[in-house]
Homo-oligomer: A and B are copies of this chain.
């Protein structure tokens, strides 16, 4: 399947900020007809460039949610244990994001819970019950300064 061209990148830049923009609207912006825009979007969805389309909710409106950043250290000796741990994190709804990283910690987790009791229960389920995990450090989030999943799209300046 083909690569992306500058027009595709322009479309991605728009959709990444607002995927409710109409095809005609996008077309006018980048100088293309609505059907042309639509075909490119369909193709990028099939390719997997566009993974999903979601509504972003405001935590403030969903009760008192607590965001916690967790640094997890584990014995990275056993590959299988790491894989299994990844899967466990993936499947846990309260784990919003999970990064496998270099450095002191092996995992960085962004977790969202309703209260500390829920978090305590989760730490048992995720960390204490996992023999591979040596240590974890929790940082309570006081302010979500910036939130998003925007990626830098290659320059589309011809």
Contact = CB atoms under 8 A, between A and B. Distances in A.
A42 interface: no
A86 B145 contact: yes
Interface of A: 4, 12, 15-20, 47-63, 65, 67, 69, 86, 89-90, 93-105, 107-108, 110, 112-114, 137-154
A148 to B, nearest CB: 6
A62 B154 contact: yes
A141 to B, nearest CB: 5
Contacts of A19: 19-20, 53-55
A140 B95 CA distance: 20
Contact of A149 (B4, B100, B147): B147
